[in-house]
């Protein structure tokens, strides 16, 4: 009896992407990065590939890093000075060790030992000399935080790539291609260490309809067919109908868990996977893996939420400090005697002195928001009106849904949900 479709991507939409935190969360706060020199054979190629990997890195559809470049050789002597000259928050540098190794071995192949005309009458297994060539790359990667000169990330990564061929055969690859393959594996690993990432969710759907009444069994087969055709929306609709008509069928419940997982409802998926475990006794490997996978997704979401909350608290604390200073300056400005012959020039378009305008903004919007608007900043929770007061009209606007839209200001994007700022990139 067939029990599964195998591991297949679920849904083709963005919602099928799982969200995972950086493996080294404290480093993920460093967003403006320069990739400096990597000493050793292959170091230049590795530095170039790492810079390209991080430049392309995105999270939730938004580019994650701002990359800045300089003369890489200067960083070896003083990474902090190099980083400051570029305005970077962090500098990546290190050493590479590359080895190209050959291994000779014997293999067997079928060879014709007797022919009659164009036809082979007898084949024999004969030994042939073969060569296996391997590129072994080891990279020591370090990140220096420019604000304090501390090494905040350090790891040693290794990867190998190989090619083999036998006597009479043509080699499929080149040394350069092997080295590039090893470099790609390591740069991808570093990227997930230092930045959050999305990954396509995969699950194993169950195909068996055993135990269902005939009408529901036929629907179950239709759902499986739809799933194989990558039409999970239709498949999930059918499994929902089956569950309503014939509840407590373990594989229907399990497949509905896959539907919930692919839609981002991890709590609902976990509930259905656990219910399946109870029905079948907990001995199914695929179901147990699904439980573990969804728990990992929930833990990742919790960690990402905690990191976002920490950043939000830090931003609010900085805004509160700025607001306090602004309020004190505004109060002093309002009470300070003004020289009769040299009045302070008004800010264009406001008709008020800068300090007085700041005081007006604070009086209208509160200390934190008012100070942010005065400094042309955008904070989480701001309204449309407050963002316009801070940055003016956007250069362009994208409607994502009835409740969500994105305002674009050059390289900065501001996302609104239900009329409030929920993300600033």
Residue 35 sits at the vertex; the CA angle it makes with 34 and 36, to the nearest 5 degrees, is 105
Cβ neighbours of residue 417 under 8 Å, at least 6 residues apart? 403, 404
State how far the Cα of 90 lies from the Cα of 105, in Å rounded to an integer: 47
- 3-state secondary structure labels for all residues of the chain: CCCCCCEEECCCCHHHEEEECCCCHHHHHCCEEEEEEEECCCHHHHHHHHHHHHHHCEECCEECCEECCCCHHHHCCCHHHHHHHHCCCEEEEEEEEEEEEEEEEEEEEEEEEEEECCEEEEEEEEEEEEEEEEEEEEEEEEEEECCCCCEEEEEEEEEEEEEEEECCCCCCCCHHHHHHHHHHHHHHHHHHHHCCEEEECEEECCCCCCCCCHHHHHHHHHHHHHHHCCCHHHHHHHHHHHHHHCCCCHHHHHHHHHHHHHCCCHHHHHHHHHHHHHHHCCCCHHHHHHHHHHHHHHHHHHHHHHHHHHHHHHHHHHHHHHHHHHHHHHHHHHHCCCCCCCCCCCCCCCCCCHHHHHHHHHHHHCHHHHHHHHCCCCCCCCEHHHHHHHHCCCCEEEECCCCEEEEEECCEEEEEECCEEEEEC
State how far the Cα of 141 lies from the Cα of 93, in Å rounded to an integer: 6
What is the pLDDT, as a whole number, of residue 401?
75
- Mean pLDDT score, 178-203: 93
Q: Please give the C-alpha separations between residue 3 and each of 208, 250, 285, 311, in angstroms, as whole numbers.
A: 6, 12, 11, 46
| Burial bucket for residue 13 (CB in 10 Å: 0-12, 13-18, 19+) | exposed
Q: Please give the C-alpha separations between residue 179 and each of 36, 135, 161, 222, in angstroms, as whole numbers.
A: 20, 6, 7, 47
Averaged pLDDT of the chain:
86
End-to-end CA separation in angstroms for the chain: 51
State how far the Cα of 356 lies from the Cα of 362, in Å rounded to an integer: 10
On whether the CB atoms of residues 290 and 266 are closer than 8 A, the answer is no
- Of residues 63 and 324, more confidence is placed in 63
For β-strands 32-39 and 90-116, DSSP reports them as parallel
Q: Which of 285, 212, 289 is nearest to 251 (CA)?
A: 212
- Mean pLDDT score, 402-416: 84
What is the pLDDT, as a whole number, of residue 340?
65
CATH 3.40.640.10 applies to domain 7-11+202-301: no
At 262, the pLDDT band (50, 70, 90 cuts) reads: confident
- Mean pLDDT score, 183-196: 96
State how far the Cα of 418 lies from the Cα of 405, in Å rounded to an integer: 9
Residue 15 pLDDT exceeds 50: no
- Mean pLDDT score, 292-304: 90
- Mean pLDDT score, 333-358: 61
Residue 346 pLDDT exceeds 60: no
What is the pLDDT, as a whole number, of residue 2?
43
Residue 68 pLDDT exceeds 50: yes
Residue 31 pLDDT exceeds 60: yes
- Among the listed ranges 87-96, 337-346, 413-422, which one has the minimum average pLDDT value? 337-346
What is the pLDDT, as a whole number, of residue 12?
44
What is the pLDDT, as a whole number, of residue 48?
93
- Mean pLDDT score, 287-291: 93
What is the pLDDT, as a whole number, of residue 202?
83
Domain residue spans in the chain?
7-11+202-301, 22-109+122-195, 378-425
CATH class of 22-109+122-195: alpha beta
Residue 235 pLDDT exceeds 90: yes
State how far the Cα of 96 lies from the Cα of 47, in Å rounded to an integer: 10
Residue 410 pLDDT exceeds 50: yes
Residue 71 pLDDT exceeds 80: no
- Mean pLDDT score, 304-324: 83
Half-sphere exposure of 125 (CA within 13 A, CB side): 3
Residue 9 pLDDT exceeds 60: no
State how far the Cα of 115 lies from the Cα of 155, in Å rounded to an integer: 60
- Among the listed ranges 5-9, 150-154, 216-220, which one has the minimum average pLDDT value? 5-9
Q: What is the pLDDT of residues 353-407, one digit of tens each?
A: 557 788 888 888 888 888 888 888 888 888 988 988 888 888 888 887 777 888 8
At 349, the pLDDT band (50, 70, 90 cuts) reads: very low
What is the pLDDT, as a whole number, of residue 345?
56
- Among the listed ranges 28-42, 55-69, 80-94, 351-365, which one has the minimum average pLDDT value? 351-365
What is the pLDDT, as a whole number, of residue 350?
45
Q: What is the pLDDT of residues 96-135, one digit of tens each?
A: 999 999 999 999 888 888 888 888 988 888 899 999 999 9
Over pLDDT 70: what percentage of the chain? Answer: 91
């Amino acid at each position: 009896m067939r029990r599964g479709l195998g591991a297949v991507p679920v849904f083709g939409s963005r919602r099928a992407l799982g969200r995972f935190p950086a493996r080294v969360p404290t480093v993920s706060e460093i967003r403006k990065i320069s990739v400096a020199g990597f000493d050793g054979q292959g170091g230049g190629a590795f530095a170039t590939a790492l810079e390209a990997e991080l430049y392309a890195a995105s999270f939730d559809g938004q580019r994650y890093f701002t990359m800045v470049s300089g003369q890489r050789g200067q960083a070896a002597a003083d990474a902090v000075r190099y980083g400051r000259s570029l305005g970077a928050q962090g500098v990546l540098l290190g050493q590479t060790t590359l080895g190209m190794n050959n291994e000779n071995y014997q293999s067997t192949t079928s060879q014709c030992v007797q022919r009659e005309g164009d036809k082979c009458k007898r084949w024999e297994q004969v030994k042939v000399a073969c060569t296996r060539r391997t590129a072994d790359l080891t990279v020591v990667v370090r990140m220096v935080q420019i604000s304090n000169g501390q090494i905040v990330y350090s790891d040693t990564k290794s990867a190998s790539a190989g090619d083999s061929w036998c006597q009479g055969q043509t080699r499929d690859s080149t040394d350069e291609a092997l080295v590039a393959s090893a470099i790609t594996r390591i740069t991808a690993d570093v990227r997930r260490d230092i930045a959050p990432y999305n990954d396509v969710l995969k699950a194993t759907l169950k195909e068996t309809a055993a135990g269902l009444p005939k009408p529901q069994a036929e629907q179950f087969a239709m759902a499986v067919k739809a799933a194989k055709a990558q039409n999970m929306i239709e498949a999930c609709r059918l499994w929902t109908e089956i569950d309503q008509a014939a509840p407590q069928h373990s594989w229907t419940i399990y497949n509905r868990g896959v539907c919930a997982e692919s839609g981002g409802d991890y709590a609902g998926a976990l509930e259905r996977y656990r219910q399946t475990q109870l029905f079948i006794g907990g001995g199914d490997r695929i179901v147990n893996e699904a439980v573990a996978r969804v728990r990992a997704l929930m833990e990742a979401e919790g960690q990402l939420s905690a990191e976002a909350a920490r950043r939000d608290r830090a931003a609010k604390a900085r805004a509160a400090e700025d607001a306090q200073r602004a309020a004190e300056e505004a109060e002093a400005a309002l009470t300070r005697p003004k020289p009769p012959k040299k009045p302070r020039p008004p800010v264009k378009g406001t008709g008020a002195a800068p300090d007085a305008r700041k005081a007006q903004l604070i009086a209208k919007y509160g200390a934190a928001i008012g100070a942010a608007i005065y400094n042309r900043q955008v904070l989480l929770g701001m309204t449309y009106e407050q963002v316009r007061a801070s940055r003016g009209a956007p250069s362009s606007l994208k409607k994502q849904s009835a409740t969500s839209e994105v305002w674009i200001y050059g390289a900065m994007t501001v996302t609104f949900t239900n009329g409030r700022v929920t993300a600033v990139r």
